[in-house]
Amino acid sequence: MLCGAALLAVGILACCTPGRLLAWGAMHGTITRGALDVLPSWQQKLFAGQRNELIDTYCLIPDLAQADAHKKEFGPLVVLPNGEAFSHLPFKTRDKNVYQIKYYFDRVVEAVRADQLDQAARWAGCLLHFLEDSGSPAHTMPGDNQMGLMKDLLPTPEAFRNRPLHGLIEEGRLTVDISDYRPQLLGTTSGEAVMHLIERYDAMVRNARSQVMPILQGVYRGAQAEIDAGQLRAATMDAYVVADTLYTMLCIAKGRFDPKELAQLAIVDVSSLTPAEVIHQSYFPQHSYFSDPYFGFPVRDAILAEGKQKQSLLLGVATDGAVVSREFEHGLGLGTGCRVTYALSNRVYDRFDCRVGLHASLGKQGRVVFRVYADGKEVFESGEMTGESPAQQVRLPIWGVHELAIATQSRSKVRGHNYAVIAEPTLRKAVDPQKLQEAAESAIAEATPDKAVMPQPVSKVKVE
């Protein structure tokens, strides 16, 4: 007699196309298992009754919902409140990725708090599926889903020129072992957690994308070991991100936090975050760039002399009446004509600090203006700074700010000297009791679904 999971598999065999079935599908369960295995014992006990279903069935819900036999049960789970169907691919904009991730994240936390563990596992399965699909190499390339772009970028043997490449990149069944990994707490509210999760998510997508060529080269050569190695590099990072997500959701739902992890979340190095402009560049080449003194995006923790040679971040800092050159370990090296924008979790951080100025040695002949914007409103302007100006300290209140942007503008008549530096850009979490209470109330309100827009059963589930 077939078990429930086997029956569902039979249903999928009957109702889904072979290309879809044999893609990353087999990897969902092994990635989920690898992530569950590294959760702390209290979390493994909490989800013990749902473990097998989560591995065998629930992490496949968005695929299972395509089948007529399961549409009634699973269809409502893959329709978002805004009316859009669940996406199996990374969206082109950060906001849409955040929307889908946060929707399921909130549902899991809410269900665990209500002790509805089976429902929580179903919601979790949908979220895990999205993360795992987004970290699948064949889901990460711009262009058509069958990797048509790769046929332009990589010499393609005659035998593969007319074949869809999607399934060839994804097909496989590997064991994902991350037993030496300890999950990371991403936040104490869903908003904060999703802000950090989206950073992990973007890194995961780009890691998976970097495996496309090695896997395809293995496919063309018939080298299974090369294919497995590329797939495993992608799947391993998927498992890390899934483990972090599960761990954080359950910590938030149960209010259990390690003091050391809380301390690590109190201060955020902004230079470790990915500007929205960089994400857009991933899909739309030359979406944004700066032109003085070199092309490209800001360099983290360094600056590029003539756009080529990496050098330390140096600023002239006023000390005891003199301007002294000081090296900074963290920050951004950039030029003028540049804007970097960061999406913040609402009501988590109450202060933004940094120092701005021209590089102490490279920028001596430069002239630049720095501006900071909070939700589009200018909240700081440096005035014209020259190579002789000491760095300016920026300290701004940002409670309730959703988007923080820093922009540089040239005031120089001669190009090639505007080596701008943003040193130690830092977000600091609020500690004021009144703000913390306000944040808690806001988090509850954001996580509570509007019954008027909750998903309803659908007759046809769209799959991308």
Residues 122 and 160 in one domain: yes
Q: Which value, to the nearest 10 degrees, does the dihedral of the CA atoms of residues 240, 245, 250, 251 take?
A: 80
Do residues 425 and 331 make contact, with C-beta atoms less than 8 angstroms apart?
Answer: yes
Residues 295 and 163 in one domain: no
Q: What share of the chain is helix, strand, coil (3-state, %, to 5)?
A: 45, 20, 35
The reply to whether 336 falls in a domain is yes
Tokens of 449: 């679904």
Residues 6 or more apart in contact with residue 373 via CB below 8 angstroms: 379, 403, 404, 405, 406, 407
Residues 6 or more apart in contact with residue 359 via CB below 8 angstroms: 303, 311, 313, 314, 315, 333, 366, 419, 420, 421
Tokens of 138: 């064949």
DSSP letter at 256? -
Residues 193 and 245 in one domain: yes
pLDDT value of residue 462: 41
Residues 330 and 200 in one domain: no
Domain that holds residue 189: 4-265
Alpha carbon distance 416, 394 (integer Å)? 25
Element (H, E) at 95: helix 94-113
Alpha carbon distance 407, 385 (integer Å)? 14
Residues 258 and 369 in one domain: no
3-class DSSP state of 66: coil
pLDDT value of residue 128: 98
Residues 343 and 369 in one domain: yes
Residues 232 and 284 in one domain: no
Can you give the CATH number for the domain in which 220 is found? 1.10.575
The reply to whether 271 falls in a domain is no
Strand partners, 272: none
pLDDT value of residue 286: 55
Domain count, the chain: 2
Residues 258 and 291 in one domain: no
User: Which residue, among 250, 233, 390, 230, has the nearest Cα to 326 in the 3D structure?
Assistant: 390
Can you give the CATH number for the domain in which 288 is found? 2.60.120.1060
Strand partners, 286: none
Residues 204 and 241 in one domain: yes
3-class DSSP state of 107: helix
Q: Where are the alpha helices (DSSP H) in 222-361?
A: 224-254, 259-265, 276-283
Element (H, E) at 354: strand 349-358
User: Which residue, among 224, 257, 411, has the nearest Cα to 335 in the 3D structure?
Assistant: 411
Residues 110 and 25 in one domain: yes
Which portions of the chain are predicted below pLDDT 70?
A: 1-23, 144, 280-289, 447-464
Residues 108 and 222 in one domain: yes
Do residues 129 and 139 make contact, with C-beta atoms less than 8 angstroms apart?
Answer: no
pLDDT value of residue 282: 65
DSSP letter at 175? -
Place of tokens 């995961």: 204
pLDDT value of residue 448: 67
Q: Which of 265, 293, 317 represents a domain boundary (last residue)?
A: 265
The reply to whether 449 falls in a domain is no
Tokens of 332: 């951004």
pLDDT value of residue 281: 66
pLDDT value of residue 141: 82
The reply to whether 460 falls in a domain is no
User: Which residue, among 138, 134, 343, has the nearest Cα to 245 in the 3D structure?
Assistant: 134
Residues 134 and 258 in one domain: yes
What DSSP string describes 125-138? HHHHHHHHHHTSGG
The reply to whether 453 falls in a domain is no
pLDDT value of residue 439: 81
The reply to whether 463 falls in a domain is no
